[in-house]
């Protein structure tokens, strides 16, 4: 996963300060690199490795002038550790375009060969966005040449259609086209989220697109559109907003956004992440009680993304909610650390127990998911060392059993603790006295309650059933090999 924002502001204003604020709001979506690209009469670029506050300073922000711009924070999965892999990307030819995305191009290898290697055109990075950008630009160039030098909304939507025809996988995209406007679109199945908003001030009307609604909130935008699956939005130079349904596939938004990735104060597809996690916790408590599991003395969340669910779980069970694990907020998410050594060494730096909340008590730890299990195992060890009598574990999602080819760092079945293990075996590995996963349909119903128009969510990581037909066993193996090679050999990656 990655985070992005695109802004089309009034003439004469600089959008970079608002882009910076937006990137701070989605720093949780990527801590590997950050970048901003703006446009005046040329593209102005600043990209680098590290957190947003580390990449940008007063000097380089002053150079990022222009009322049209993009920003991005990167989460590592594959690719090489090079500045060239940080987003945004821009090409000045054949049509000057800058672009950011969140997601993963599943046919990247095939496209890089057919569009580049076999035509003697060369990629400048190992990031899949470059291929996507190239296909989009070629679509624009076709129409530009045919029309004799003018780009219309029909040309924009034609180029998006070319992307849908050729580029497979899951992605949400925002692009700025020099002297033309801003474009945003979402993959045909709508797996990755994208929101659009606008505001008005003394300078005029502003438009923004982002990967989460919180980015709009912090900058004072009203969320006006949840971009749909296969839908494209184009804001032209006159600030007219054009919408078109370019592809028609069933909507399959990623359920893991609500389980883990998104901020609780965001809305995705008109669903409150906060309310959904509350419903996860309530459903977990009902399942815990109905299963006859022992009732603990207190419910304690594994911070941060499980906090809302744990509170609702405690309320439903009628037992105290306690904060027993203190998180160091200056340590990144262990799940998105680039290798297992980094994950293991960072766990104790990340969390510290409050002994008095555990000593002599039976506690229910609530977490949003368990991937490899090593973090959970270490947390349980810390809790027992703090004097807990019994340690129970509740998970607000089902067991993860299948790799995600859509941009989440779950590359191999071998990495999942649930692969080939029974619930009792997982509990033994974690060192807990009782383990309960939330039922998959209960999880889906909890999310669907926020927007009944969504018939199904992408549950591929829980079932191995992928919504896009391009995902085959051969392609999964290819992605697995690529990710494992890059993760073993480099400290970070480039696809989102």
Binding site per annotation, positions for Mg(2+) = 305, 367-368
Cα 402–chain centre separation:
18
Per this entry, what is the length of the chain? 496
In this structure, what are the phi and psi dihedrals at residue 203, rounded to the nearest 5 degrees?
Answer: -85, -25
DSSP class per residue in 261-316: IS-TT-EETTEEHHHHHHHHHHHHHHHHHHTTPPP-SEEEE-TTTTHHHHHHHHHH
Structure tokens given for 29? 């979506």
Is the distance from CB of 462 to CB of 256 less than 8 angstroms? no
Task: Quote the CA–CA distance of 282 and 242 in Å, as a whole number.
Answer: 41
Could you give the dihedral angle defined by the CA atoms of residues 394, 400, 406 and 412, in that order, rounded to the nearest 10 degrees?
140
Structure tokens given for 162? 């070319």
Task: Quote the CA–CA distance of 125 and 109 in Å, as a whole number.
Answer: 13
Task: Quote the CA–CA distance of 479 and 486 in Å, as a whole number.
Answer: 11
Is the distance from CB of 437 to CB of 398 less than 8 angstroms? yes
Number of H helices and E strands in the chain, helices first, is: 16, 21
3-state secondary structure of 225: strand
In this structure, what are the phi and psi dihedrals at residue 124, rounded to the nearest 5 degrees?
Answer: -100, 5
Residue owning tokens 């129409």: 143
Task: Quote the CA–CA distance of 463 and 474 in Å, as a whole number.
Answer: 18
Task: Quote the CA–CA distance of 15 and 235 in Å, as a whole number.
Answer: 16
Determine whether 496 is an active site residue. no
Residue ranges of the annotated binding site for [4Fe-4S] cluster are: 254, 404, 458, 461
Query: Cα angle vertex 25, ends 329, 327, to 5°?
Result: 15
Task: Quote the CA–CA distance of 133 and 137 in Å, as a whole number.
Answer: 6
Q: Which of 2, 127, 313, 496 is catalytic?
A: 2
What is the CB neighbour count within 10 angstroms for residue 471? 23
3-state secondary structure of 460: helix
3-state secondary structure of 188: coil
- For residue 40, give the DSSP letter: S
What is the CB neighbour count within 10 angstroms for residue 244? 16
Residue ranges of the annotated binding site are: 254, 305, 367-368, 404, 458, 461
Catalytic residues: 2
């Amino acid at each position: 996963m990655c985070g992005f924002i695109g802004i089309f502001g009034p003439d004469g204003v600089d959008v970079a300060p608002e882009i910076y604020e937006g990137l701070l709001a989605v720093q949780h979506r990527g801590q590997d690199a950050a970048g901003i690209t703006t446009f005046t009469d040329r593209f102005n670029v600043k990209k680098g490795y590290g957190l947003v506050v580390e990449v940008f300073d007063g000097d380089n922000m002053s150079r990022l002038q222009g009322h049209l711009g993009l920003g991005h924070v990167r989460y590592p999965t594959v690719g090489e550790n090079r500045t060239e892999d940080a987003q945004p990307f821009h090409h000045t030819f054949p049509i000057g375009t800058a672009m950011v995305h969140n997601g993963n191009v599943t046919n990247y290898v095939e496209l890089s060969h057919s569009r580049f290697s076999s035509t003697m055109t060369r990629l400048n990075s190992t990031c899949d966005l470059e291929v996507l950008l190239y296909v989009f630009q070629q679509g624009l160039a076709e129409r530009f040449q045919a029309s004799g030098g003018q780009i219309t909304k029909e040309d924009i939507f034609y180029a998006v259609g070319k992307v849908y025809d050729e580029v497979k996988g899951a992605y949400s995209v925002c692009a700025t086209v020099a002297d033309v406007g801003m474009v945003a679109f979402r993959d045909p199945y709508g797996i990755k989220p994208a929101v659009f908003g606008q505001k008005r001030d003394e300078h005029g009307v502003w438009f923004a697109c982002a990967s989460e609604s919180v980015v709009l909130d912090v900058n004072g935008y009203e969320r006006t559109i949840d971009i749909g699956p296969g839908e494209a939005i184009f804001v032209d130079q006159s600030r007219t907003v054009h919408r078109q349904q370019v592809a028609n596939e069933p909507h399959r938004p990623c359920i893991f956004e609500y389980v883990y990735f998104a901020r609780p104060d965001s809305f995705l597809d008109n669903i409150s992440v906060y309310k959904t996690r509350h419903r996860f916790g309530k459903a977990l408590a009902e399942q815990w009680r109905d299963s006859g599991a022992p009732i603990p003395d207190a419910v304690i969340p594994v911070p941060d993304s499980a906090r809302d669910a744990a509170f609702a779980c405690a309320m439903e069970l009628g037992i105290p909610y306690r904060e027993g694990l203190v998180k160091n907020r200056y340590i990144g998410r262990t799940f998105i650390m680039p290798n297992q050594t980094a994950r293991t060494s960072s766990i104790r730096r990340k969390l510290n127990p409050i002994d008095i909340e555990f000593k002599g008590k039976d506690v229910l730890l609530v977490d949003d998911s368990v991937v490899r299990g090593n973090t959970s195992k270490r947390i349980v060890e810390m809790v027992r060392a703090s004097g807990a009598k019994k340690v129970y574990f509740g998970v607000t999602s089902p067991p993860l059993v299948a790799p995600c080819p859509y941009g989440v760092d779950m590359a191999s079945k071998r990495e999942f603790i649930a692969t080939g293990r029974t619930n009792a075996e997982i509990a033994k590995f974690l060192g807990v006295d009782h383990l309960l996963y939330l039922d998959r349909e209960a999880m889906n119903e909890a999310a669907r309650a926020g927007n009944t128009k969504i018939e199904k969510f992408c549950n591929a990581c829980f079932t191995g059933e992928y919504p896009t037909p391009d995902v085959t066993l051969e392609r999964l193996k290819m992605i697995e090999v690529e990710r494992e090679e890059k993760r073993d050999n480099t400290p970070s990656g480039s696809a989102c």
